[in-house]
């Protein structure tokens, strides 16, 4: 962004916890843009959140925020079923939009945004792609540190059986695959640097909620595979394993990277099963939410909007759709 470029002014669409507890605190660390306003359907809640976070303006409706001509960009952390309609409303209002994942409940829903991709920037908020640990891990792969990548595997889970929580409501896009399985898919695409040819999955659904509480998937990238298991009702845990022909690379906290301590990863040259060949590295402290918002703000100031990032979101969503289709068919499906 040039020295004379206008500072991007952000508006936050709702007081959702992902925003108030993680994303906004990260954004507020940056000196490159301003978090100028926040909206809620409850004005008192908007005001309380704004006061707690130091945001200057609070609105009691989403439409008021979208009508604010001083706002350049919208961060949309609403429940999954509202991602497309409110991103569309923001784009129609001339706002750039960073929308939480998954960006839709099915890939075809995203096509309504295509007419606006030449007018405003629209991106899906996969903050992990901005963290230095993901970037340095891919650099190691490209440099041949573990040989040719054969498979990627990751468990990712937490425990939440609260019936009032949106992640346990099937009617608005709850469940493990939508909520955290999407990260596993992004990891496969990020490290293999191509799209899977076919996918298959197994699901265990909660009898009360109807949501998938345990989902395992296999993505066939041709010459390499990405396997994952995610759960919304298991002990909190996450790891990322990249296994190649000459060694392996493990990322300790790949998805919820802490913003206040260095992150660690290791490379094992596979000389021994007892870990004698392991070297551990630390990545400097970084807030992936800050970095994500800065990258988006820079794009607003320096790049012409196009459909690249919408196409990326559609590609990820097609894989999710295919995994759900596999649950019904019991066989591999093509995204």
Please report the pLDDT score of residue 304 as a whole number.
97
Alpha-carbon span 335 to 199, nearest angstrom = 7
Q: Residue 201: enclosing H or E segment and its boundaries?
A: strand 198-205
Backbone angles phi, psi at 113, to 5 degrees: -85, -15
Per-residue CA distances from 213 to 66, 79, 155, 170 (Å): 35, 18, 13, 11
Kindly list the strands in the beta sheet with 122-125, ordered across the sheet, starting from the edge strand earlier in the chain. 57-59, 34-39, 9-13, 73-76, 96-100, 122-125
- For the chain, how big is the Rg over CA atoms in Å? 20
Please report the pLDDT score of residue 4 as a whole number.
46
Closest CA to 79 of 111, 41, 49: 41
Alpha-carbon span 55 to 84, nearest angstrom = 25
Alpha-carbon span 70 to 57, nearest angstrom = 11
Q: Tokens in use for 328?
A: 């019904």
Please report the pLDDT score of residue 6 as a whole number.
82
Burial tier of 146 (Cβ tally within 10 Å: 0-12, 13-18, 19+): buried
Closest CA to 125 of 255, 302, 304: 255
Neighbours of 260 (CB within 10 A): 7
Extract the residue ranges of the chain whose pLDDT is less than 70.
1-5
Please report the pLDDT score of residue 2 as a whole number.
41
């Amino acid at each position: 962004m040039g020295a004379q470029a206008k500072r991007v002014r952000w508006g936050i669409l709702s007081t959702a916890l992902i925003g108030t507890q993680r994303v906004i605190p990260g954004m507020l660390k940056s000196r490159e843009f301003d978090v100028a306003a926040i909206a809620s359907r409850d004005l008192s809640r908007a005001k309380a959140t704004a006061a707690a976070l130091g945001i200057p303006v609070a609105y009691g409706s989403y439409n008021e925020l979208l009508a604010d001509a001083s706002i350049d960009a919208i961060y949309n952390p609403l429940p999954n079923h509202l991602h497309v309609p409110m991103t569309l409303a923001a784009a129609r209002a001339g706002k750039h939009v960073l929308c939480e994942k998954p960006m839709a409940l099915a890939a075809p829903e995203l096509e309504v945004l295509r007419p606006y991709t030449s007018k405003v920037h629209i991106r899906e908020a996969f903050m992990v792609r901005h963290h230095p640990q993901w970037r340095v891990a891919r650099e190691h792969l490209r440099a041949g540190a573990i040989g040719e990548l054969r498979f990627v595997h990751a468990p990712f889970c937490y425990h939440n059986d609260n019936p009032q929580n949106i992640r346990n409501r099937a009617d608005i896009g709850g469940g493990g695959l939508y909520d955290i399985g999407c990260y596993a898919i992004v990891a496969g695409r990020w490290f293999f640097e191509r799209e899977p040819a076919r996918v298959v999955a197994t699901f265990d659904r909660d009898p009360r909620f109807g949501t998938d509480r345990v989902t395992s998937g296999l993505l066939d990238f041709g010459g390499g595979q990405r396997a994952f298991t995610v759960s919304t009702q298991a002990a909190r845990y996450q790891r990322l394993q990249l296994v190649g022909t000459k060694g392996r690379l493990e990322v300790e906290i790949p998805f919820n990277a802490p913003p206040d301590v260095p992150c660690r990863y290791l490379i094992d040259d596979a000389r021994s099963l007892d870990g004698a060949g392991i070297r551990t590295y630390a990545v400097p402290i970084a807030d992936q939410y800050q970095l994500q918002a800065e990258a988006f703000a820079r794009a607003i100031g320096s790049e012409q909007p196009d459909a690249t990032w919408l196409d990326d979101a559609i590609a990820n969503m097609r894989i999710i759709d295919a995994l759900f289709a596999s649950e019904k068919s019991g066989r591999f499906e093509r995204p």
